[in-house]
A and B are shown apart, each in its own frame.
Chain A
Amino acid sequence: MAIFENISSVARSEWEALQKRTYISVGTATCGRAAGALEVVDAFGRELARQGLKVPVVQVGCSGLCHADPFVTIAKADSLRVAYNNVTPEGVHRLVDGYVAGDDPCLELALGTVEGCTGEPLSIPELPRFERERRLVLRHCGCIDPENINHYIANSGYSGLNKALKMSSEEIIGELQRSGLRGRGGAGFPTYQKWEACRKAQGTPKYVVCNADEGDPGAFMDRVILESEPHQVIEGMIIAGYAIGAKVGYIYVRAEYPLAIERIRVALKQADELGLLGDNILGSDFGFHISIAAGAGAFVSGEETALIAAVEGKMSTPRPRPPYPAESGLWGNPTLLNNVKTLATVPVIIERGGDWFASIGTEGSKGTAVFTLAGKVVNSGLAEVPMGTTLRELIYDIGGGIAKDKQFKAVQIGGPSGGCLPAALLDTPIDYDSLREAGSMMGSGGMIVMDENNCMVDAARFFLDFSTKESCGKCTMCRLGTVQMLRILEDITAGRGRIEDLDLLLKLAEDVRAGSLCGLGKTAPNPVLTTLRYFRDEYEAHILEKRCPAKVCPELTVYYILPDKCDRACEHCVLTCPTEAIKGEKGQVKVIDQEKCSKCGTCLEVCPPEYDAVVKLSPPSLLPSANVAEGSARK
């Protein structure tokens, strides 16, 4: 179609003109902004103006290297493009002087050189993680300005749609079938089957709904995709609409993601202006319209039937399936519901073919997996790896291992629905089936690494607490059973547990799983089940010895100032203790009044490292007896 050729050539010339110049890119997705990226953008603006340099500062999305934010690159047509990590407004002057105006690449500040980013995904060959990564979904992240549709189009954006419009519905769905793509929202249902069911379903109008209700605490890849390459999701939705015969789509986004919502809004407007959305897309007789539905904060809305209720303006509670949304979804009509990552994968598959996609990954899980990596790893951020990559490769090669030389304890995958896997399972390949076998799940792709200082009972309690708060209340076992489990865990973490509670937990977990309608309740026991399976010794220590091995649970832990290490003259702890629990005249050993201590840990934090006098003890019975009596402990 000539129309697309025209659009595409305009976009390419804009992009190529930029590549011929010296320009600066700053990652300004939410993660970058939190680290101060907008201040860095301002600082570049001021410094360039001061020096009279006409150099564009392009705000790009997230590079995935969140630990390096604010993340800046300086591109030069005739020289290396260099990446800089953790740039501060104060450091901008040096970069402009050095590499923008001059030829000194400021190597002492550099993270590495940038390859790709024009056609190919971003890569920094100096970093070992890029040997493991394979960016298909994240191919534009950190490279393009998400608010400039021409950047996307110039890098093969919308060419999947252009190709799809020349194919029949059956051909598109056949391509998906060959690709082996499974739903990236967690359950892993074959995508082509959903599409096929929707295409065949009777009833009009049909709908396409993008599930961007990313509610798992600790998962943020959908946010990054929407903030960094919103057009790729929109393109996937248009192709879906064409393939199943829908004219209307909704993107259901969490209200907690205001920047993502704003960028989708901009992207929709731009796509509309170029005729990539609306009536007669690219001159064809196919029309498609997309609206944003902003979520109002309910974890359960991630479940497809609950999400449909939310879009309809109701309380977001799930209903029994069947009928599946493919037959009876929004307002009782056939509705295709796919996750952000699933839809963002579609244009890539159409563009490069299902067979090509299926050549990546494992037998049962094709393509790539996008994970967020957070918690106690050195390099937090986002990564995309071929399915079958092991947890160890992801955590150590990409994540850089455990921060502060601590010992790895567990990795939690899939949020409140997933499980905690121990070191012995680090060689588990990342694919739907292996993770499920290990008791966890792919989930939406949030991965949280825990070290020796994290308590597994406390972690299980945390996730269960989340599930009880987010249970919509429809099913009794989910509403009340999870609360009973939570009470038991609270007792255990407070030192009131009984050993028979562990069997009771297992029994309740079975009942909650069996008695819940939707995924929230069915999977809520997973964190408890996996921690019991792999870390039973920690539960037993809490119950039998009243000891928290990681010294996390406040009721089982006390703070103590070692008299022979306390400097006596120093008063840091006395002056900063928020509850005034630390006594001791100047020149005397400082002593914590355990009655007043709130276990906040400020004393441990402020005690100068040369003394290092504050320690945590568990069980509390380890406390020298003189310290127990209130006030009388001064020596």
Chain B
Amino acid sequence: MRPESVQGTSNDEQNNQAIAEILARHGKEKKNLIPLLQEVQAGLGYLPREALQRIAHFLEMPEVEVWGVATFYNQFRFVPLGKFHTTVCMGTACHLAGGQLIQEALERELNVKVGGTTEDGNFSLERVACIGCCMLAPVAVINDKIHPKMTPFKVEESLIPYKQEVRGGPEKEEEESEGKN
């Protein structure tokens, strides 16, 4: 359950710079812990271990306490998101309209389990309790675009453009999806 560290020096430097700028905007009061975590995550996409250490140092708190708060809340992530981040809504209305089937379809089509990111880093999948668009249930969100009234079949369709973009062209996509026997 350790957060992954960022690979590559240039990335590290960029991250360090970003964290320093965020810390400089805040006071050392403990109430700033959650806003700090939120801002660092917004800047970096996730919370690498180094970031948590630096926040702990900045607020003069034990690292374990920062880690405790960060892991308590659903919002915080310790691995980077995929290039295309997919969330499936699991609110009541979505559940009743077949949200579970949408989740399973996304897991199948993306070949990743909820909470995970594909090995190539292209797709990540999360579930969310409710995004408050209950009249459009069931709903999936791909990089902030809301896909309303999903069905397992529409999941396959709606992913095609993203998969094409990842693979760099529509021709390839067709070859692969037609590999049925």
Contact = CB atoms under 8 A, between A and B. Distances in A.
B56 interface: no
Given A34-B133, A296-B34, A315-B68, A256 B151 contact: no
A454 B134 CA distance: 16
A462 B96 CA distance: 9
A381 B93 CA distance: 12
Interface residues of B, number: 46
Given A313-B31, A601-B101, A296 B134 contact: no
Interface string A294-314: 111111000000000011111
Interface string A28-44: 00110111000000000
B44 to A, nearest CB: 16
A30 B33 CA distance: 28
Contacts of A170: none
A33 B135 CA distance: 12
Contacts of A257: 132
A459 B105 contact: no
A212 to B, nearest CB: 12
Contacts of B30: 312-314
Contact of B31 (A216, A312, A470): A312
Contacts of A312: 30-31
Contact of A66 (B68, B91, B92, B135): B135
Interface stretch (A101-109, A371-379, A428-436): A371-379
Interface stretch (A158-166, A182-190, A217-225, A387-395): A217-225
Interface in A321-375: 372, 374-375
A298 B132 contact: no
Interface in B126-141: 128-137, 139
Given A217-B92, A578-B108, A297 B101 contact: no
A216 B74 contact: no
Nearest to A446: B92
B137 A601 contact: no
A216 B132 contact: no
B79 to A, nearest CB: 17
B143 interface: no
A517 to B, nearest CB: 16
Contacts of B136: 31, 34-35
A316 B148 contact: no
Nearest to B32: A313
Contact of A600 (B31, B92, B104): B104
Interface string B69-85: 10011111000000000
Contacts of A256: 128-132
A313 B34 contact: yes
B74 A372 contact: no
B90 interface: yes
Task: From B29, B74, B156, B180, name the one whose CB has the most chain A CB atoms within 10 angstroms.
Answer: B74
Nearest to A300: B72
Interface of B: 29-35, 37-38, 68-69, 72-76, 90-93, 95-96, 98, 101, 104-105, 108-109, 128-137, 139, 146, 148, 151-153, 156, 180
Interface of A: 30-31, 33-35, 66-67, 69, 214-220, 223, 255-257, 293-299, 310-316, 372, 374-376, 380-381, 412, 415, 446, 448, 450, 454, 459, 462-463, 466, 470, 472, 576, 578-580, 598-602, 605-606
5 contacts: A295-B73, A296-B37, A313-B30, A375-B137, A605-B153
